[in-house]
Structure 1
Amino acid sequence: MGKRILIIEQDSHLARFLTLELESAGYEVLWETDHKEALRLATSRDLELLLFDLQAGFDANRSFLEQLAQVKPSAVIIALASPEDLKAQQDVIHQYTVLVAVKPFVAPILLEQIASIFRGRDYINQHCGQIKKVAKHHQLEVDLANHMVFRKGEQLALTRREYDLLIALMSSPKALTREELLERVWKYENPGGTNIVDVYIRYLRGKIDIEGQASYIETVRGVGYKMRDLTV
Structure 2
Amino acid sequence: MGKRILLLEKEKNLAHFLSLELQKEHYRVDLAEKGQKALSMALQTDYDLILLNVNLGDMTAQEFADKLSLTKPASVIMVLDHVEELQDVLEVVQRFAVSYIYKPVIIENLVERISAIFRGRDFIDQHCGQMKIPTSYRNLRIDVANHTVYRGDELIALTRREYDLLATLMGSKKVLTREQLLESVWKYESATETNIVDVYIRYLRSKIDVEGQKSYIKTVRGVGYTMQE
Which TM-score bucket, shorter chain as reference? 0.7 to 0.9
Aligned match of 1:114: 114
Superposed counterparts of 1:87-98, under 5 Å: 87-97=87-97
Which letter maps to 1:99? S
1:52-99 alpha-carbon deviations (Å, 9 max, x no partner)? 12344495433333333334x511211211223333333433343463
Range 123-132 or range 160-169, more displaced: 123-132
What is the root-mean-square deviation in Å for CA atoms of aligned residues?
2.5
**Within 5 A, what are the aligned runs for 1:1-232?**
1-57=1-57, 60-71=60-71, 73-81=72-80, 82-97=82-97, 99-129=99-129, 134-189=134-189, 192-229=192-229
- State the Cα distance separating 1:21 from its structure 2 match: 1.9
Q: Distance in 1 between matches of 2:215 and 2:67?
A: 31
Distance 1:172 1:36, change over 3 A: same
Question: Does the 8 Å contact 2:22/2:111 carry over to 1?
Answer: yes
1:149-170 deviation digits (Å, cap 9, x = unpaired):
1112222222222211100111
Amino acid paired to 1:49:
L
Given that 2:178 and 2:194 are in contact with CA atoms closer than 8 Å, whether structure 1 keeps it comes out as: no
Structure 1 CA distance for aligned equivalents of residues 73 and 114 of structure 2:
15
Q: 1:116-164: per-residue Cα shift (whole Å, max 9, x none)? A: 1111111122123488663334322111222211112222222222211
Change (3 A) 1:90 1:136: closer
Distance 1:137 1:39 in 2: 32
Q: How many residues align?
A: 228
- Residue 191 of structure 1, CA deviation: 6.7
Q: Secondary structure at the match of 2:39?
A: helix
- Tell me if the contact between 1:48 and 1:74 (Cα under 8 Å) persists in the aligned partners: no
**SS at the partner of 1:149?**
strand
**TM-score if structure 2 supplies the norm length?**
0.86
SS of the aligned residue for 2:205 comes to helix
Distance 2:57 2:94 in 1: 17
| Change beyond 3 A, Cα 1:191–1:42 | farther
CA contact (8 A) 2:128 2:134 kept: no
- For residues 113 and 142 of structure 2, the distance between their equivalents in structure 1, rounded to whole angstroms, comes to 26
**Matched AA of 2:218:** E
Are the aligned partners of 2:36 and 2:59 in contact in 1 as well (CA < 8 Å)?
A: no
The 1:225/1:64 distance shift into structure 2, 3 A limit, reads closer
Runs (5+) with no aligned partner, structure 1: none
Deviations 1:153-190 (A, max 9, x none): 22222222221110011122222111110111122336
Distance in structure 1 (CA, Å) of the matches to 2:95 and 2:127: 29
Q: Please list every run of 5 or more consecutive structure 2 residues that lacks an aligned counterpart in the other structure.
A: none
- The amino acid that maps onto 1:113 is R
Q: Once the 2 structures are TM-superposed, how far is the Cα of residue 6 of structure 1 from its aligned partner?
A: 0.5
